[in-house]
Structure 1
Amino acid sequence: MPPIATPIAVRAITWDPSLEETLAHAADAQPSSVLARTRPGVTPSMPVDAGVRVHSVHRRAVNLRVGDELVALVSAALDDAPATVRVPVEDWTALQVRQGDPASIGPDGFRIETVQGPIAVLTSSATAWAPAEICLCALSDGQLLRAEATIAATPAPVQQSAFGSAAAALLTERVAALEEALRRRDPSAITAAAAGLLGLGEGLTPSGDDVLTGLAFVSAQRGTRLHGALASLAAALDDEEERTTLLSVATVRHALKARAQHGLHELIQAVRDGDDERIRDAALHVAGIGHTSGTDILSGVRLALRTEAALRSASAPVPATSSSGIIPKEQA
């Protein structure tokens, strides 16, 4: 009789409650617990969710591909984030999780089939991560520029790789083109310039994508003139998503809905409150994301803040409509 694999079970600490829909759909097709699929005397069956696989493995994170989406199972040392579950696992590679491993979803969590046996991540007792809604409607152009200058003083990471350095000049040129298009409020030019940034640079989330993440996240906050550019930014992603990685596509799409890693929410809350010390602390935290991703995201945040300031100082006001994201005074 072949040996029966005993599942390793870990209980999630926090999670994005938007994943409840993912688990609810799974409950119809896979009603059993992710712990209850190994029966005595039989070899563990393969998951019913044949489309769910391990997309990528890192020491502190495992990304599961669920259809066209990604779900991240990350170490407790990392931030809460969209489509993310934080678990008490310090090193996923030590558990022999590999890219391509089959996985499944149940009403109580996720399960990965590894060479050493199944790993179950239980979500039922996890605390929901729910970042506060942010409205930037009360800020003046001067306050926005002051926040941008404070973030600009954040120390840069270690020196870029040769490839990253080679792409830096092109990145600067294309960011400048996007800024000009945003200031002119030219939808087609915004889409073209944003598309030029997709996939530019190295890594699972290239530098150009990280800049777009920071820009999209700020633009999507309530009360911004840049809210009107969201459709054009989304069009670039829809038209050219094959230029970049699935992780980047997922990250930018979340940012377009004002959702990002928790550190970014804290940064924009500090900007809203005009708290320079909190801005510095939050910016330093964001800068620590990845190798250069955090610094590139901050570049996108700075782009958004100075462009928003320019739009607010323009003579023609933006109407307070649902599409613009501006909140009428009586609702502010």
Structure 2
Amino acid sequence: MIVDAGLGAAGLLRRPVSGRVVSVHRKAAYLRFGDALVALVAPGVEPGPVHVRCTTLPPCRVGEAVTGDGSRLAGRQWALRGPGAVWWGTSPGPLELAARDDALVREALVPGEVIVAAARALGSGLDALVGAVGGRGPGLTPAGDDVLAGVVLVDRAAGGPAVEERLTAVCASVPTTEVARAFLAWAARGQSVAPAHDWLGAVAAGDRDAASRALARLHALGADSGRHLAAGMALGLGQLPRVVSQTARADAGPGLRHRV
């Protein structure tokens, strides 16, 4: 049975589709429907834009055909009832991000060669960042693309719909894996895995406990994908102007001014 589906997968599950299984892993099976990639994921996997969370991960095989009729998704020897609830991530807006707690942001900056390279390149802009880390590293989602996805997610939250076309074009230019390209494309639309949105919200609100919990969930994703995604968000936030919140200014007294 399908529990829920991210924004990038939900529409596909609500109409007739046909596709194939392109890869199978311990906790996920990736299906391609035309140009769209969907991941069937096991119980306990975090929600995400292309994730279809199932009560039990079906026994998919690479290359098998998959069809859907809007209420049922089926392979050769399995079927899932759905389409389930729609999940999407929400992020703070530019004013909330400007009043973030930078001490919490710094906690997400873990050591790493790719992170150092990203930090050096980011000052020269997003194109320079893509050139420095895009597609860099092994795995389904290379470390460089995880960092890039974090930066892009923050840029989309800060810039709103007006920057989406530009971010989408930049992400489409990255020479990377099919899975990484799908997650980058959705980051450009403001969608990522659930703990990324939870962490951004907690950092913007200055909620240390919630930020720590969300960061721990991020660090549990993959071998190091979540760590690089979190570091990318931290780098992205570091590029944004910052102002002290009204609450902080009131607590500190009349001598405190805006910091930008």
- Is 1:104 the counterpart of 2:52? The answer is no
Amino acid aligned to 1:110:
L
Runs of 5+ consecutive residues of structure 1 not aligned to the other structure = 1-10, 31-48, 157-167, 183-189, 314-332
Confirm whether residue 305 of structure 1 aligns to residue 237 of structure 2. Answer: yes
CA distance in 1, matches of 2:85, 2:168: 31
Question: Contact (CA 8 Å) 1:144, 1:305: kept in 2 or not?
Answer: no
CA, structure 1 residues 127+238, in 2 after alignment: closer, same or farther (shift >3 Å)?
Answer: closer
Partner of 2:3: 13
Contact 2:153 2:191 in 1 (8 A): yes
Equivalent residue, structure 1, for 2:118: 175
The answer to whether the Cα contact below 8 Å between 1:62 and 1:72 also exists between their aligned partners in 2 is yes
* 2:102 maps to 1:135: no
Shift of 1:79: 0.8
Query: Separation in 1 of the partners of 2:6 and 2:72?
Result: 12
Counterparts of 1:244-323 in structure 2 under 5 Å?
244-308=176-240, 311-312=241-242
Aligned-pair CA distance for 1:22: 2.0
User: Which residue is 2:140 aligned to?
Assistant: 204
**CA shift at 1:206, angstroms?**
0.3
Query: In 1, distance between residues paired with 2:79 and 2:95?
Result: 44
What amino acid sits opposite 2:46 in the alignment? D
* Structure 1 Cα separation of the partners of residues 45 and 143 of structure 2: 20
> Quick one: distance in 2 between partners of 1:230 and 1:181?
20
Structure 1: distance between partners of 2:147 and 2:160: 15
The residue identity in structure 2 corresponding to 1:181 is S
Runs of 4+ off more than 6 Å: 226-229
| In 2: Cα distance, 1:24 partner to 1:290 partner | 29
Instruction: Report the CA distance shift for 1:225/1:260 in structure 2 as closer, same or farther (over 3 A).
Output: closer
- Runs of 5+ consecutive residues of structure 2 not aligned to the other structure: 244-260
1:151·1:279 contact (CA, 8 Å) conserved in 2? Answer: no
Q: Secondary structure at 2:80's aligned position in 1?
A: strand
Count of residues paired in the alignment? 243
Structure index of larger Rg: 1
Q: 1:230 to 1:21 in 2, by over 3 A?
A: closer
Q: Which residue of 2 aligns with 1:151?
A: 108
Q: CA RMSD in A?
A: 2.6
Q: CA 1:225–1:250 in 2, change beyond 3 Å: closer, same or farther?
A: closer
Following superposition, the deviation at residue 219 of structure 1 comes to 1.5
How far, CA to CA, are the matches of 2:86 and 2:148 in structure 1? 27
Q: CA deviation at 1:120?
A: 0.8
Contact in 1 for aligned 2:149/2:184 (Cα 8 Å): yes
Q: Which residue of 1 aligns with 2:79?
A: 120
> Displacement, 1:254?
0.5
Offset at 1:59? 1.5
Output the CA distance in 2 between the equivalents of 1:174 and 1:232.
23
Inter-partner Cα distance in structure 2 for 1:16 and 1:218: 19
Query: Displacement of 1:25 after TM fit?
Result: 4.2
Q: Distance in 2 between matches of 1:226 and 1:25?
A: 29
Contact 1:266 1:282 in 2 (8 A): yes
Question: Normalised by the size of structure 2, how large is the TM-score?
Answer: 0.83
| Matches of 1:133 and 1:214, distance apart in 2 | 12
The match for 1:185 is none
Shift in CA distance, 87/133, structure 1 to aligned 2, threshold 3 Å: same
The structural deviation recorded for 1:268 is 1.1
Q: Structure 1 residues 271 and 172, CA, compared in 2 at 3 Å: closer, same or farther?
A: closer
CA distance in 2, matches of 1:299, 1:232: 22
Question: Match of 1:59?
Answer: 26
Query: What's the offset of the Cα at 1:144?
Result: 4.2
Distance change (3 Å), C-alpha of 1:56 and 1:197: same
Secondary structure of 1:56's match?
A: strand
Distance in 1, Cα, partners of 2:127 & 2:165:
9
Change (3 A) 1:108 1:235: same
Matching residue of 1:40? none
Q: Partner letter of residue 138 of structure 2?
A: E
Residue in structure 2 matched with residue 238 of structure 1 by the alignment: 172
